[in-house]
Amino acid sequence: MRIAHYVLASRALLAPMAGVTDRPFRQLCRRFGAGLAPAEMLSADQRLWSSDKSRRRMDHEGEPEPRVVQLVGSDPAELASAASVNVDLGAQIIDINMGCPAKKVCQREAGSALLADEALVARILTAVVRAVSVPVTLKIRTGTNHSNRNAPRIAAIAQECGIAALSIHGRTRADFFRGDAEYDTIRETRAALDMPLIANGDIDSPQKARAVLDFTGAEGVMLGRAAQGAPWIFRDVNALLSDQFAAPLLRTFKTGIILQHLESLYKFYGEYIGVRMARKHLGWYCRQLSEAIALRPTLMAAEDSASQFAAAKHGFERWAEFEAA
Among the options 29, 100, 161, 286, which is catalytic? Answer: 100
Does residue 100 have an active-site annotation? yes
DSSP assignment string, 241-300? HTT---PPPPHHHHHHHHHHHHHHHHHHH-HHHHHHHHHHHHHHHHHHSGGGGGGHHHHH
Q: Which of 17, 4, 9 is nearest to 200 (CA)?
A: 17
Those residues with Cβ within 8 angstroms of residue 4's Cβ, 6 or more apart along the chain or in another chain: 93, 134, 135, 164, 165
Measured between alpha carbons, how far is 29 from 233 in angstroms, rounded to an integer? Answer: 9
Question: What CA–CA distances, in Å, run from 204 to 15, 37, 183, 200, 226?
Answer: 12, 17, 14, 10, 5
DSSP three-state, residue 113: helix
Q: What residues act catalytically?
A: 100
